[in-house]
Structure 1
Amino acid sequence: MTINNAAGINLPSDNVPILTPEQQLVAEYYQHQALLCQWFSTLLAAELDAQTLQAYMAGDATPLLEELALLPELADSVQQLQQAISHWSLLEQPRLELAADFAGLFLSDARHSPAPYASLYLDDGRFNGPTAQRMQLRLIDAGYSVDEQFKEPADHVAIMLDYLAERYRRLALDPTPEAETSVAKFVSEDISSWLHEWAQRATRVDTASQFYPALLTLVAAYFTIA
């Protein structure tokens, strides 16, 4: 995880509420949203390690991708990502080549790459702009802090998705209308509003694998319907 939850969201065992069937469905929906956001965040926070790479090549991501493909709006994006993963076996050194793709896409000069910072898209290309400052205040208000090992500003997409995953976990426990409205506003104004441009930039960069361009396309499509 890219953020540390200082406040905590777990309920004491003797205070766990008894949910109606409808409430249980709502809780499961938000838990699933949290799972997806956490997965996207993890993939976008750092290069794939050897263990994850081997797991994906063995098909560990297939059940989740097949579930996403059931949504018509995501079917094409999922297929592109699955094809990219299936082509890893054609690379001479998959881990090194994917790490090079990650660096070329996300760690290069922001003027020529799809840098993963919301401010660059929402604040007229300014690095660490008002969007980053607003995101930092959200983290403070929620009792979160960025992991010291993840030396990125608060508007890095992995941090924003990690934060959103935590918000969804809170909604699973207490889905008040106010909290739901707040999360929906955050998604529409601070996340989905720039992801398509980000994904389009990625398609214009030469990469050894189409994994990351396909991943960004899927993430952008997902938040269009989230």
Structure 2
Amino acid sequence: MRPMPRTLSLAVCLFDNVASTDFQGPAELFGFISPRGYPKRDWAIEPAYLIDATYLSVTMDPVYTMSGPALVPSRTYESIEEDEQFDILLVPGGIGSRTTPQAVLDFLKSQAPRAKYILSVCTGAEVLGRAGILQGHKATTNKRAFTRISSSEDGKGVEWIPTARYVVDGKIWSSAGVTAGMDMAYAFLQKLVGPEVSDVIRTIVELPKRGDDVEEEFARYYKLI
């Protein structure tokens, strides 16, 4: 049996009325290098890391997304021990991001300082802003909600980039709305495991290549530029 690469732990932060594609899109890509998905493929170049996802919620009750089936979480936020640290935090958006449960914010505040990477999709940036994680950083978010979020009290002290499909600022990665999360996730995989492995994944799911240097068309649609 071939040796397993080093595994990074991923916390997917769920709440009711979350947008399912916000987290399922990146999760689809990350699943190829999960402990379960990795052994199923013969990699020409072995990935340097695996990603093992844990789906967190306020309770163990099913999480009702904005669309699609309800999801049973892996654990609750309160079950995380004080000395337990996740390597990657993924914060999706959706209508539920407007009224983020305090348990989500408390978890992010405690985990963010030592996390290796923090990723938000769509209005997940609103959640990060509310937790104080985006202060002094560049970020982007869903273009329809861009003005509301960037001009809010939680959005102050953040350099919001209206034209970006996704933004990378240190360990913080933020994307525009919903499908942009997959573009960001692909770029994240390029950084984490290299272009050879990430391109195998991209071509299997048939994801078009769109970099962060391309002007986001929806910024113009919503008259942000």
Return the TM-score normalized by structure 2.
Answer: 0.26
| More helix as a share of residues | 1
Higher relative contact order (CA 8 A, sep 6+): 1
| Structure label with greater radius of gyration | 1
| More strand as a share of residues | 2
Return the TM-score normalized by structure 1.
Answer: 0.26
